[in-house]
Structure 1
Protein backbone atom coordinates (compact mmCIF):
# COMPACT_ATOMS: atom_id res chain seq x y z
CA UNK A 1 0.00 0.00 0.00
CA UNK A 2 1.52 3.30 -1.09
CA UNK A 3 1.93 6.10 1.45
CA UNK A 4 -0.19 9.22 1.13
CA UNK A 5 2.11 12.18 0.36
CA UNK A 6 2.55 14.52 3.30
CA UNK A 7 1.20 18.04 3.15
CA UNK A 8 3.48 20.95 3.96
CA UNK A 9 2.42 24.24 5.50
CA UNK A 10 4.30 27.14 7.04
CA UNK A 11 4.13 30.78 8.06
CA UNK A 12 6.36 33.08 5.99
CA UNK A 13 6.95 36.62 7.30
CA UNK A 14 7.53 39.28 4.65
CA UNK A 15 9.81 41.86 6.27
CA UNK A 16 11.81 44.81 5.04
CA UNK A 17 12.22 48.56 5.07
CA UNK A 18 9.22 50.74 4.22
CA UNK A 19 8.44 50.85 0.50
CA UNK A 20 10.61 47.91 -0.63
CA UNK A 21 7.58 46.20 -2.21
CA UNK A 22 6.33 43.74 0.41
CA UNK A 23 2.65 44.30 -0.22
CA UNK A 24 3.09 44.26 -4.00
CA UNK A 25 4.68 40.83 -3.66
CA UNK A 26 1.91 39.63 -1.33
CA UNK A 27 -0.82 40.69 -3.76
CA UNK A 28 1.00 39.17 -6.74
CA UNK A 29 1.70 35.84 -5.05
CA UNK A 30 -1.89 35.49 -3.86
CA UNK A 31 -3.25 36.64 -7.20
CA UNK A 32 -5.67 39.22 -5.78
CA UNK A 33 -5.41 42.66 -4.23
CA UNK A 34 -5.58 42.16 -0.48
CA UNK A 35 -3.97 45.38 0.73
CA UNK A 36 -3.24 48.95 -0.26
CA UNK A 37 -0.25 49.72 -2.47
CA UNK A 38 1.08 53.24 -3.01
CA UNK A 39 4.39 54.89 -3.82
CA UNK A 40 4.47 56.35 -0.31
CA UNK A 41 6.36 54.57 2.49
CA UNK A 42 4.54 53.27 5.61
CA UNK A 43 1.43 52.33 3.59
CA UNK A 44 0.98 48.97 5.36
CA UNK A 45 -0.36 49.31 8.91
CA UNK A 46 -1.70 45.86 9.66
CA UNK A 47 -0.50 42.30 9.81
CA UNK A 48 -2.17 40.72 6.80
CA UNK A 49 -2.23 37.04 5.86
CA UNK A 50 -2.15 35.92 2.25
CA UNK A 51 -2.58 32.22 1.47
CA UNK A 52 -0.96 30.46 -1.48
CA UNK A 53 -1.92 26.80 -1.90
CA UNK A 54 -0.17 24.76 -4.59
CA UNK A 55 -0.80 21.02 -4.66
CA UNK A 56 0.08 19.65 -1.23
CA UNK A 57 1.90 22.82 -0.15
CA UNK A 58 0.35 25.82 1.61
CA UNK A 59 2.40 28.98 2.09
CA UNK A 60 0.84 31.41 4.56
CA UNK A 61 2.35 34.83 3.90
CA UNK A 62 2.41 37.42 6.70
CA UNK A 63 2.66 40.92 5.27
CA UNK A 64 4.03 43.35 7.83
CA UNK A 65 4.50 47.11 8.20
CA UNK A 66 7.91 48.33 7.08
CA UNK A 67 10.39 48.25 9.95
CA UNK A 68 11.79 51.72 10.58
CA UNK A 69 14.35 52.28 13.35
CA UNK A 70 13.60 56.03 13.30
CA UNK A 71 9.94 55.76 14.32
CA UNK A 72 8.91 57.59 17.51
CA UNK A 73 5.12 58.13 17.43
CA UNK A 74 2.95 55.59 19.26
CA UNK A 75 1.41 54.23 16.05
CA UNK A 76 4.84 53.87 14.47
CA UNK A 77 6.23 52.03 17.51
CA UNK A 78 3.22 49.70 17.38
CA UNK A 79 3.87 49.02 13.68
CA UNK A 80 7.49 48.13 14.40
CA UNK A 81 6.46 45.72 17.15
CA UNK A 82 3.87 44.13 14.85
CA UNK A 83 6.58 43.44 12.28
CA UNK A 84 9.09 42.12 14.82
CA UNK A 85 6.43 39.84 16.36
CA UNK A 86 5.87 38.33 12.91
CA UNK A 87 9.55 37.28 12.92
CA UNK A 88 9.00 35.33 16.13
CA UNK A 89 5.89 33.59 14.75
CA UNK A 90 7.28 32.67 11.33
CA UNK A 91 8.69 29.35 10.15
CA UNK A 92 10.59 31.21 7.42
CA UNK A 93 11.49 34.87 7.02
CA UNK A 94 11.31 36.46 3.60
CA UNK A 95 13.73 39.42 3.88
CA UNK A 96 13.00 41.87 1.08
CA UNK A 97 15.53 44.49 -0.05
CA UNK A 98 15.94 46.65 -3.15
CA UNK A 99 18.41 45.61 -5.84
CA UNK A 100 21.57 47.70 -5.59
CA UNK A 101 20.65 49.23 -2.22
CA UNK A 102 21.51 48.03 1.27
CA UNK A 103 21.09 50.78 3.84
CA UNK A 104 21.33 51.14 7.60
CA UNK A 105 17.65 50.23 7.86
CA UNK A 106 18.31 46.94 6.03
CA UNK A 107 21.20 46.15 8.37
CA UNK A 108 18.93 46.86 11.35
CA UNK A 109 16.36 44.36 10.06
CA UNK A 110 19.01 41.74 9.32
CA UNK A 111 20.12 41.95 12.96
CA UNK A 112 16.50 41.49 14.05
CA UNK A 113 16.27 38.36 11.87
CA UNK A 114 19.52 37.08 13.36
CA UNK A 115 18.21 37.73 16.89
CA UNK A 116 14.94 35.91 16.12
CA UNK A 117 16.92 32.83 15.07
CA UNK A 118 14.70 32.13 12.09
CA UNK A 119 15.84 30.77 8.69
CA UNK A 120 15.53 33.36 5.94
CA UNK A 121 15.24 33.70 2.19
CA UNK A 122 16.65 36.93 0.77
CA UNK A 123 14.44 38.53 -1.87
CA UNK A 124 16.17 41.16 -4.00
CA UNK A 125 13.29 43.16 -5.44
CA UNK A 126 13.08 45.79 -8.19
CA UNK A 127 15.76 44.25 -10.41
CA UNK A 128 13.94 45.89 -13.33
CA UNK A 129 15.19 49.25 -12.05
CA UNK A 130 18.88 48.32 -12.20
CA UNK A 131 20.25 50.06 -15.29
CA UNK A 132 23.64 48.31 -15.26
CA UNK A 133 22.87 44.62 -14.79
CA UNK A 134 26.60 43.83 -14.43
CA UNK A 135 26.44 45.34 -10.92
CA UNK A 136 23.79 42.87 -9.78
CA UNK A 137 25.98 39.77 -9.33
CA UNK A 138 28.58 41.51 -7.11
CA UNK A 139 25.72 42.95 -5.06
CA UNK A 140 24.20 39.48 -4.58
CA UNK A 141 27.59 38.00 -3.65
CA UNK A 142 28.09 40.66 -0.97
CA UNK A 143 24.66 40.01 0.51
CA UNK A 144 25.26 36.23 0.49
CA UNK A 145 28.30 36.71 2.71
CA UNK A 146 26.34 38.53 5.41
CA UNK A 147 23.99 35.72 6.49
CA UNK A 148 23.45 32.01 5.88
CA UNK A 149 20.34 32.41 3.73
CA UNK A 150 18.25 29.43 2.62
CA UNK A 151 18.30 31.00 -0.82
CA UNK A 152 18.58 34.32 -2.65
CA UNK A 153 15.90 35.23 -5.19
CA UNK A 154 16.24 38.30 -7.44
CA UNK A 155 12.91 39.38 -8.92
CA UNK A 156 10.60 42.21 -9.88
CA UNK A 157 7.36 42.52 -7.96
CA UNK A 158 6.18 45.15 -10.42
CA UNK A 159 6.55 43.00 -13.55
CA UNK A 160 6.20 39.59 -11.89
CA UNK A 161 9.59 38.43 -13.21
CA UNK A 162 10.79 35.35 -11.27
CA UNK A 163 7.79 35.47 -8.93
CA UNK A 164 7.25 31.75 -9.46
CA UNK A 165 10.88 31.22 -8.57
CA UNK A 166 10.22 32.76 -5.16
CA UNK A 167 7.09 30.69 -4.58
CA UNK A 168 9.00 27.50 -5.48
CA UNK A 169 11.91 28.47 -3.21
CA UNK A 170 9.58 29.00 -0.25
CA UNK A 171 7.72 25.73 -0.92
CA UNK A 172 11.02 23.85 -0.75
CA UNK A 173 11.52 24.91 2.88
CA UNK A 174 8.00 24.51 4.26
CA UNK A 175 7.73 22.15 7.24
CA UNK A 176 5.51 19.09 7.01
CA UNK A 177 2.10 19.59 8.56
CA UNK A 178 -1.63 20.01 7.88
CA UNK A 179 -3.01 23.02 6.04
CA UNK A 180 -4.00 25.91 8.30
CA UNK A 181 -6.63 27.22 5.89
CA UNK A 182 -9.05 25.94 3.28
CA UNK A 183 -7.20 25.58 -0.06
CA UNK A 184 -9.68 27.99 -1.70
CA UNK A 185 -9.08 30.71 0.89
CA UNK A 186 -6.80 33.61 -0.10
CA UNK A 187 -6.69 35.65 3.11
CA UNK A 188 -7.78 35.78 6.73
CA UNK A 189 -9.14 39.30 6.22
CA UNK A 190 -12.86 39.97 5.60
CA UNK A 191 -14.22 42.07 2.75
CA UNK A 192 -14.69 45.02 5.11
CA UNK A 193 -10.94 45.21 5.70
CA UNK A 194 -10.22 45.09 1.99
CA UNK A 195 -12.73 47.91 1.43
CA UNK A 196 -10.93 50.01 4.05
CA UNK A 197 -7.64 49.32 2.31
CA UNK A 198 -8.94 50.37 -1.10
CA UNK A 199 -10.34 53.62 0.33
CA UNK A 200 -7.07 54.34 2.14
CA UNK A 201 -5.11 53.65 -1.05
CA UNK A 202 -7.26 56.18 -2.91
CA UNK A 203 -6.57 58.69 -0.14
CA UNK A 204 -2.81 58.13 -0.10
CA UNK A 205 -2.50 58.40 -3.86
CA UNK A 206 -4.32 61.73 -4.03
CA UNK A 207 -3.14 63.63 -0.96
CA UNK A 208 0.09 65.50 -0.26
CA UNK A 209 2.97 64.44 1.93
CA UNK A 210 1.62 65.60 5.30
CA UNK A 211 -1.97 64.37 5.40
CA UNK A 212 -1.70 60.65 4.47
CA UNK A 213 -0.07 59.56 7.73
CA UNK A 214 -2.72 61.36 9.79
CA UNK A 215 -5.67 59.58 8.13
CA UNK A 216 -7.37 56.29 8.88
CA UNK A 217 -10.43 54.54 7.46
CA UNK A 218 -13.10 52.51 9.21
CA UNK A 219 -16.16 50.89 7.60
CA UNK A 220 -19.12 51.84 9.79
CA UNK A 221 -21.93 50.05 7.95
CA UNK A 222 -22.12 47.32 5.30
CA UNK A 223 -25.37 46.15 3.73
CA UNK A 224 -25.60 43.57 0.96
CA UNK A 225 -28.69 43.92 -1.23
CA UNK A 226 -29.56 42.09 -4.45
CA UNK A 227 -26.98 43.16 -7.02
CA UNK A 228 -25.49 45.96 -4.90
CA UNK A 229 -23.57 46.53 -1.65
CA UNK A 230 -23.98 49.75 0.35
CA UNK A 231 -20.89 50.79 2.29
CA UNK A 232 -20.62 53.70 4.74
CA UNK A 233 -17.02 54.49 5.69
CA UNK A 234 -15.49 57.00 8.09
CA UNK A 235 -12.24 58.82 7.30
CA UNK A 236 -10.46 59.97 10.46
CA UNK A 237 -8.08 62.94 10.45
CA UNK A 238 -6.33 64.74 13.30
CA UNK A 239 -6.92 68.42 12.47
CA UNK A 240 -9.57 70.63 10.87
CA UNK A 241 -7.04 71.72 8.23
CA UNK A 242 -6.59 68.08 7.20
CA UNK A 243 -10.35 67.62 6.97
CA UNK A 244 -10.48 70.56 4.55
CA UNK A 245 -7.76 69.03 2.38
CA UNK A 246 -9.48 65.63 2.26
CA UNK A 247 -12.84 67.16 1.34
CA UNK A 248 -11.36 69.69 -1.09
CA UNK A 249 -12.96 72.74 -2.66
CA UNK A 250 -16.65 72.11 -3.12
CA UNK A 251 -16.13 68.50 -2.00
CA UNK A 252 -14.27 67.64 -5.21
CA UNK A 253 -11.32 65.84 -3.59
CA UNK A 254 -13.58 63.58 -1.52
CA UNK A 255 -15.64 62.87 -4.64
CA UNK A 256 -12.52 61.81 -6.59
CA UNK A 257 -11.34 59.63 -3.69
CA UNK A 258 -14.75 57.97 -3.45
CA UNK A 259 -14.98 57.33 -7.19
CA UNK A 260 -11.50 55.75 -7.34
CA UNK A 261 -12.20 53.56 -4.30
CA UNK A 262 -15.62 52.51 -5.62
CA UNK A 263 -14.20 51.46 -8.98
CA UNK A 264 -11.50 49.38 -7.26
CA UNK A 265 -14.06 47.75 -5.00
CA UNK A 266 -16.42 46.89 -7.84
CA UNK A 267 -13.56 45.16 -9.66
CA UNK A 268 -12.41 43.41 -6.51
CA UNK A 269 -15.80 42.25 -5.24
CA UNK A 270 -17.48 41.73 -8.60
CA UNK A 271 -20.64 43.68 -7.86
CA UNK A 272 -22.01 47.21 -7.86
CA UNK A 273 -20.96 49.34 -4.88
CA UNK A 274 -22.72 52.35 -3.36
CA UNK A 275 -20.03 54.07 -1.28
CA UNK A 276 -20.60 56.95 1.13
CA UNK A 277 -17.60 58.63 2.79
CA UNK A 278 -17.69 60.85 5.88
CA UNK A 279 -14.71 62.80 7.25
CA UNK A 280 -14.33 63.38 10.99
CA UNK A 281 -11.67 65.09 13.09
CA UNK A 282 -10.37 63.07 16.04
CA UNK A 283 -7.38 64.88 17.47
CA UNK A 284 -4.40 62.68 18.30
CA UNK A 285 -5.96 59.41 17.15
CA UNK A 286 -2.55 58.07 16.08
CA UNK A 287 -1.30 58.59 19.65
CA UNK A 288 -4.29 56.86 21.27
CA UNK A 289 -4.17 53.18 22.23
CA UNK A 290 -7.99 53.10 22.17
CA UNK A 291 -8.20 54.50 18.65
CA UNK A 292 -5.47 52.18 17.39
CA UNK A 293 -7.31 49.16 18.82
CA UNK A 294 -10.60 50.26 17.24
CA UNK A 295 -8.86 50.63 13.89
CA UNK A 296 -7.17 47.24 14.18
CA UNK A 297 -3.72 48.84 14.52
CA UNK A 298 -2.78 47.41 17.87
CA UNK A 299 0.13 46.05 19.80
CA UNK A 300 0.62 42.28 19.44
CA UNK A 301 -0.30 40.29 22.53
Structure 2
Protein backbone atom coordinates (compact mmCIF):
# COMPACT_ATOMS: atom_id res chain seq x y z
CA UNK A 1 0.00 0.00 0.00
CA UNK A 2 1.39 3.41 -1.02
CA UNK A 3 1.77 6.01 1.73
CA UNK A 4 1.64 9.78 1.35
CA UNK A 5 1.06 12.82 3.50
CA UNK A 6 2.02 16.28 4.65
CA UNK A 7 4.61 16.89 7.36
CA UNK A 8 5.15 20.32 8.93
CA UNK A 9 8.53 21.21 10.45
CA UNK A 10 8.11 23.85 13.14
CA UNK A 11 10.30 25.50 15.75
CA UNK A 12 12.16 28.62 16.81
CA UNK A 13 14.60 30.38 14.49
CA UNK A 14 18.03 28.78 14.11
CA UNK A 15 17.21 25.34 15.49
CA UNK A 16 18.01 23.61 12.18
CA UNK A 17 14.64 23.18 10.46
CA UNK A 18 15.93 24.18 7.03
CA UNK A 19 19.02 22.00 7.37
CA UNK A 20 16.75 19.08 8.24
CA UNK A 21 14.59 19.62 5.15
CA UNK A 22 17.64 19.86 2.92
CA UNK A 23 18.96 16.63 4.43
CA UNK A 24 15.67 14.79 3.79
CA UNK A 25 15.44 15.94 0.17
CA UNK A 26 19.20 15.69 -0.44
CA UNK A 27 18.94 19.01 -2.23
CA UNK A 28 19.42 22.58 -1.04
CA UNK A 29 15.87 23.93 -1.07
CA UNK A 30 15.82 26.08 2.07
CA UNK A 31 18.54 28.70 2.44
CA UNK A 32 20.60 28.45 5.61
CA UNK A 33 22.45 31.05 7.69
CA UNK A 34 23.30 31.74 11.30
CA UNK A 35 20.98 34.76 11.35
CA UNK A 36 17.45 34.56 12.83
CA UNK A 37 14.41 34.59 10.52
CA UNK A 38 16.40 33.36 7.53
CA UNK A 39 13.35 31.44 6.28
CA UNK A 40 10.52 33.87 5.46
CA UNK A 41 8.19 31.67 3.38
CA UNK A 42 6.96 28.14 3.72
CA UNK A 43 9.36 26.02 1.65
CA UNK A 44 7.76 22.82 0.39
CA UNK A 45 10.05 19.89 -0.33
CA UNK A 46 8.90 16.53 -1.71
CA UNK A 47 10.55 13.21 -0.84
CA UNK A 48 9.65 10.52 -3.35
CA UNK A 49 10.00 6.76 -3.07
CA UNK A 50 8.38 3.80 -4.78
CA UNK A 51 6.35 3.17 -1.62
CA UNK A 52 5.72 6.68 -0.31
CA UNK A 53 5.63 10.41 -0.98
CA UNK A 54 6.24 12.87 1.87
CA UNK A 55 5.49 16.57 1.38
CA UNK A 56 7.53 18.53 3.92
CA UNK A 57 6.81 22.14 4.83
CA UNK A 58 9.74 24.06 6.31
CA UNK A 59 8.07 26.92 8.18
CA UNK A 60 9.68 30.25 9.19
CA UNK A 61 11.25 30.38 12.64
CA UNK A 62 8.72 31.32 15.31
CA UNK A 63 9.40 34.80 16.71
CA UNK A 64 7.76 38.00 17.94
CA UNK A 65 7.09 40.09 14.81
CA UNK A 66 8.17 43.74 14.60
CA UNK A 67 6.94 44.42 11.07
CA UNK A 68 4.14 43.34 8.76
CA UNK A 69 6.67 41.05 7.13
CA UNK A 70 7.00 39.32 10.51
CA UNK A 71 3.22 39.01 10.75
CA UNK A 72 3.26 37.33 7.33
CA UNK A 73 5.89 34.88 8.55
CA UNK A 74 3.83 33.97 11.62
CA UNK A 75 0.78 33.51 9.39
CA UNK A 76 2.88 31.21 7.18
CA UNK A 77 3.54 29.02 10.21
CA UNK A 78 -0.19 28.71 10.90
CA UNK A 79 -0.86 28.02 7.22
CA UNK A 80 1.81 25.32 7.26
CA UNK A 81 -0.06 23.51 10.02
CA UNK A 82 -3.38 23.44 8.19
CA UNK A 83 -4.35 19.97 7.01
CA UNK A 84 -0.94 18.58 7.93
CA UNK A 85 -0.71 14.90 8.86
CA UNK A 86 2.34 14.99 11.14
CA UNK A 87 4.05 17.76 13.12
CA UNK A 88 7.80 17.71 13.64
CA UNK A 89 8.75 20.08 16.45
CA UNK A 90 12.47 20.92 16.38
CA UNK A 91 14.37 22.25 19.40
CA UNK A 92 17.98 22.45 20.50
CA UNK A 93 19.69 22.27 23.88
CA UNK A 94 18.86 24.97 26.41
CA UNK A 95 19.15 25.03 30.20
CA UNK A 96 15.50 26.07 30.36
CA UNK A 97 12.71 25.69 27.83
CA UNK A 98 12.65 28.99 25.89
CA UNK A 99 9.51 31.09 26.16
CA UNK A 100 8.96 30.91 22.39
CA UNK A 101 9.06 27.10 22.56
CA UNK A 102 6.35 27.19 25.22
CA UNK A 103 4.22 29.38 22.95
CA UNK A 104 4.66 26.94 20.06
CA UNK A 105 3.79 23.96 22.25
CA UNK A 106 0.65 25.78 23.36
CA UNK A 107 -0.33 26.32 19.71
CA UNK A 108 0.12 22.70 18.64
CA UNK A 109 -1.11 20.87 21.73
CA UNK A 110 -4.71 20.58 20.50
CA UNK A 111 -3.80 19.23 17.06
CA UNK A 112 -5.09 15.68 17.12
CA UNK A 113 -2.35 14.33 14.87
CA UNK A 114 1.00 12.60 15.52
CA UNK A 115 3.69 14.89 16.90
CA UNK A 116 7.39 14.06 16.88
CA UNK A 117 9.83 15.89 19.16
CA UNK A 118 13.24 16.35 17.51
CA UNK A 119 16.21 17.49 19.57
CA UNK A 120 18.68 18.78 17.02
CA UNK A 121 22.44 19.31 17.37
CA UNK A 122 22.67 16.28 19.66
CA UNK A 123 26.29 15.80 18.61
CA UNK A 124 27.13 18.90 20.68
CA UNK A 125 25.88 17.51 24.02
CA UNK A 126 26.25 14.35 26.14
CA UNK A 127 23.62 11.65 26.55
CA UNK A 128 22.63 12.76 30.07
CA UNK A 129 21.86 16.29 28.89
CA UNK A 130 19.88 14.84 25.98
CA UNK A 131 17.71 12.81 28.37
CA UNK A 132 17.23 15.84 30.63
CA UNK A 133 15.97 17.94 27.72
CA UNK A 134 13.62 15.22 26.46
CA UNK A 135 12.24 14.81 29.99
CA UNK A 136 11.58 18.55 30.40
CA UNK A 137 9.68 18.82 27.12
CA UNK A 138 7.70 15.63 27.76
CA UNK A 139 6.26 17.24 30.90
CA UNK A 140 4.86 20.09 28.79
CA UNK A 141 3.48 18.07 25.88
CA UNK A 142 3.08 14.33 25.42
CA UNK A 143 4.66 13.77 22.00
CA UNK A 144 4.14 10.50 20.15
CA UNK A 145 7.88 10.12 19.62
CA UNK A 146 11.12 11.68 20.85
CA UNK A 147 14.41 11.51 18.96
CA UNK A 148 17.79 13.30 19.16
CA UNK A 149 19.43 14.02 15.78
CA UNK A 150 22.08 16.08 14.07
CA UNK A 151 20.55 17.50 10.90
CA UNK A 152 23.94 18.86 9.85
CA UNK A 153 25.82 15.56 9.80
CA UNK A 154 22.80 13.30 9.30
CA UNK A 155 22.94 11.47 12.62
CA UNK A 156 19.62 9.65 13.26
CA UNK A 157 17.89 11.38 10.32
CA UNK A 158 17.20 7.96 8.81
CA UNK A 159 15.61 6.88 12.10
CA UNK A 160 13.49 10.04 12.10
CA UNK A 161 12.34 9.16 8.58
CA UNK A 162 11.33 5.76 9.88
CA UNK A 163 9.22 7.38 12.60
CA UNK A 164 7.52 9.60 10.02
CA UNK A 165 6.70 6.58 7.87
CA UNK A 166 5.28 4.85 10.93
CA UNK A 167 2.56 7.52 11.18
CA UNK A 168 2.23 8.50 7.52
CA UNK A 169 -1.25 7.60 6.22
CA UNK A 170 -1.99 5.58 3.11
CA UNK A 171 -2.61 7.77 0.10
CA UNK A 172 -1.87 8.63 -3.54
CA UNK A 173 1.00 10.64 -5.03
CA UNK A 174 0.09 14.31 -4.84
CA UNK A 175 3.00 15.37 -7.06
CA UNK A 176 4.93 13.84 -9.95
CA UNK A 177 7.60 11.36 -8.87
CA UNK A 178 10.44 13.52 -10.21
CA UNK A 179 9.27 16.71 -8.47
CA UNK A 180 11.28 17.79 -5.43
CA UNK A 181 9.65 21.13 -4.60
CA UNK A 182 6.32 22.91 -4.90
CA UNK A 183 7.69 26.48 -4.91
CA UNK A 184 8.47 27.96 -8.33
CA UNK A 185 11.98 28.51 -9.75
CA UNK A 186 11.91 32.30 -9.34
CA UNK A 187 11.30 31.84 -5.62
CA UNK A 188 14.40 29.66 -5.23
CA UNK A 189 16.51 32.02 -7.36
CA UNK A 190 15.54 35.02 -5.21
CA UNK A 191 16.28 33.01 -2.06
CA UNK A 192 19.76 32.15 -3.33
CA UNK A 193 20.55 35.87 -3.68
CA UNK A 194 19.15 36.63 -0.22
CA UNK A 195 21.22 33.84 1.30
CA UNK A 196 24.43 35.34 -0.09
CA UNK A 197 23.50 38.72 1.39
CA UNK A 198 22.84 37.08 4.76
CA UNK A 199 26.22 35.33 4.69
CA UNK A 200 28.34 38.19 3.32
CA UNK A 201 26.93 41.20 5.18
CA UNK A 202 26.80 41.59 8.95
CA UNK A 203 24.65 43.45 11.46
CA UNK A 204 21.10 44.59 10.74
CA UNK A 205 21.39 45.14 6.98
CA UNK A 206 20.31 41.64 5.81
CA UNK A 207 17.09 41.75 7.85
CA UNK A 208 15.96 44.81 5.86
CA UNK A 209 16.63 43.21 2.47
CA UNK A 210 14.13 41.82 -0.02
CA UNK A 211 14.90 40.28 -3.41
CA UNK A 212 12.75 40.43 -6.53
CA UNK A 213 13.50 38.49 -9.71
CA UNK A 214 12.02 40.66 -12.46
CA UNK A 215 13.16 38.61 -15.45
CA UNK A 216 14.30 35.01 -15.94
CA UNK A 217 14.64 33.87 -19.54
CA UNK A 218 16.43 30.93 -21.11
CA UNK A 219 18.53 31.64 -24.21
CA UNK A 220 18.26 28.54 -26.42
CA UNK A 221 21.06 29.69 -28.70
CA UNK A 222 23.60 30.41 -25.93
CA UNK A 223 22.27 27.66 -23.64
CA UNK A 224 22.04 29.86 -20.58
CA UNK A 225 19.60 31.75 -18.34
CA UNK A 226 19.54 35.54 -18.31
CA UNK A 227 18.36 36.64 -14.87
CA UNK A 228 17.72 40.20 -13.72
CA UNK A 229 16.51 41.34 -10.33
CA UNK A 230 16.30 43.98 -7.64
CA UNK A 231 17.65 44.00 -4.11
CA UNK A 232 15.50 46.25 -1.92
CA UNK A 233 16.75 47.73 1.33
CA UNK A 234 15.41 50.14 3.95
CA UNK A 235 18.07 52.85 3.96
CA UNK A 236 20.51 54.65 1.67
CA UNK A 237 23.33 53.69 4.04
CA UNK A 238 22.38 50.02 3.60
CA UNK A 239 22.48 50.43 -0.18
CA UNK A 240 26.04 51.72 0.07
CA UNK A 241 27.04 48.68 2.15
CA UNK A 242 25.36 46.19 -0.23
CA UNK A 243 27.06 47.74 -3.28
CA UNK A 244 30.40 48.09 -1.50
CA UNK A 245 33.49 50.02 -2.48
CA UNK A 246 33.73 50.18 -6.27
CA UNK A 247 30.80 47.75 -6.43
CA UNK A 248 32.90 44.90 -4.97
CA UNK A 249 30.28 43.59 -2.51
CA UNK A 250 27.49 43.49 -5.11
CA UNK A 251 29.88 41.75 -7.49
CA UNK A 252 30.67 39.16 -4.81
CA UNK A 253 26.96 38.62 -4.05
CA UNK A 254 26.23 38.18 -7.76
CA UNK A 255 29.16 35.81 -8.35
CA UNK A 256 28.34 33.51 -5.43
CA UNK A 257 24.65 33.61 -6.36
CA UNK A 258 25.41 32.69 -9.97
CA UNK A 259 27.45 29.67 -8.87
CA UNK A 260 24.56 28.31 -6.78
CA UNK A 261 22.02 29.15 -9.49
CA UNK A 262 23.99 27.17 -12.07
CA UNK A 263 24.06 24.15 -9.76
CA UNK A 264 20.34 24.51 -9.06
CA UNK A 265 19.27 25.05 -12.69
CA UNK A 266 21.86 22.78 -14.30
CA UNK A 267 22.70 25.52 -16.76
CA UNK A 268 24.98 28.52 -17.27
CA UNK A 269 23.60 31.75 -15.82
CA UNK A 270 24.12 35.44 -16.54
CA UNK A 271 22.90 37.61 -13.68
CA UNK A 272 22.39 41.36 -13.21
CA UNK A 273 21.18 42.81 -9.91
CA UNK A 274 20.26 46.39 -8.98
CA UNK A 275 20.09 47.78 -5.43
CA UNK A 276 17.13 50.05 -4.65
CA UNK A 277 15.96 51.85 -1.51
CA UNK A 278 12.34 51.36 -0.43
CA UNK A 279 11.79 52.97 2.94
CA UNK A 280 9.82 50.79 5.36
CA UNK A 281 9.06 48.18 2.68
CA UNK A 282 8.63 45.56 5.42
CA UNK A 283 5.53 47.47 6.58
CA UNK A 284 4.15 48.19 3.08
CA UNK A 285 1.41 45.70 2.13
CA UNK A 286 1.66 46.41 -1.60
CA UNK A 287 5.40 45.98 -1.69
CA UNK A 288 5.24 42.83 0.41
CA UNK A 289 2.74 41.36 -2.05
CA UNK A 290 4.96 42.27 -5.01
CA UNK A 291 7.77 40.27 -3.38
CA UNK A 292 5.54 37.25 -2.88
CA UNK A 293 4.67 37.77 0.79
CA UNK A 294 0.92 37.40 0.42
Classify the TM-score, shorter chain.
over 0.9
Partner of 1:183: 177
Partner of 1:81: 75
Residue 268 of structure 1 aligns to a residue in which SS?
helix
Partner of 1:3: none
Query: What's the CA shift string for 1:240-289, capped at 9, x where partnerless?
Result: 11111110111011011111111111122222111111111111111011
| C-alpha separation in 2, matches of 1:52 and 1:243 | 39
| C-alpha separation in 2, matches of 1:116 and 1:154 | 22
Which residues in structure 2 correspond to 1:19-38 (within 5 Å)? 19-38=14-33
- Report how far residue 78 of structure 1 moved: 1.4
| C-alpha separation in 1, matches of 2:185 and 2:55 | 19
Partner of 1:284: 280
Query: What's the CA shift string for 1:170-193, capped at 9, x where partnerless?
Result: 111111211111121100122221
Contact 1:87 1:116 in 2 (8 A): no
Structure 2 unaligned spans of 5+: none
Contact 1:88 1:116 in 2 (8 A): no
Partner of 2:141: 147
Contact 1:100 1:136 in 2 (8 A): no
- Report how far residue 89 of structure 1 moved: 2.7
Partner of 1:171: 165
Contact 1:51 1:61 in 2 (8 A): yes
Say what the alpha-carbon RMSD is for the aligned residues: 1.4
- Report how far residue 100 of structure 1 moved: 4.2
Is 1:161 aligned to 2:155, yes or no?
Answer: yes
Residue 89 of structure 2 aligns to a residue in which SS?
strand
Which residues in structure 2 correspond to 1:237-252 (within 5 Å)? 237-252=233-248
- Report how far residue 84 of structure 1 moved: 1.9
Instruction: Select which of 46, 49, 70 maps to 1:51.
Output: 46
- Report how far residue 119 of structure 1 moved: 2.7
Residue 89 of structure 1 aligns to a residue in which SS?
coil
| C-alpha separation in 2, matches of 1:20 and 1:148 | 20
| C-alpha separation in 2, matches of 1:25 and 1:281 | 34
Task: Report the TM-score when normalising by structure 1.
Answer: 0.93
Instruction: Select which of 61, 65, 81 maps to 1:66.
Output: 61
Partner of 1:193: 187
Instruction: Select which of 235, 253, 256 maps to 1:257.
Output: 253
Task: Report the TM-score when normalising by structure 2.
Answer: 0.95
Contact 2:130 2:148 in 1 (8 A): no
| C-alpha separation in 1, matches of 2:38 and 2:86 | 23
| C-alpha separation in 2, matches of 1:116 and 1:170 | 16
Query: What's the CA shift string for 1:61-87, capped at 9, x where partnerless?
Result: 01111111x223111111111102222
Partner of 2:199: 205
The count of corresponding residues between Structure 1 and Structure 2 is: 291
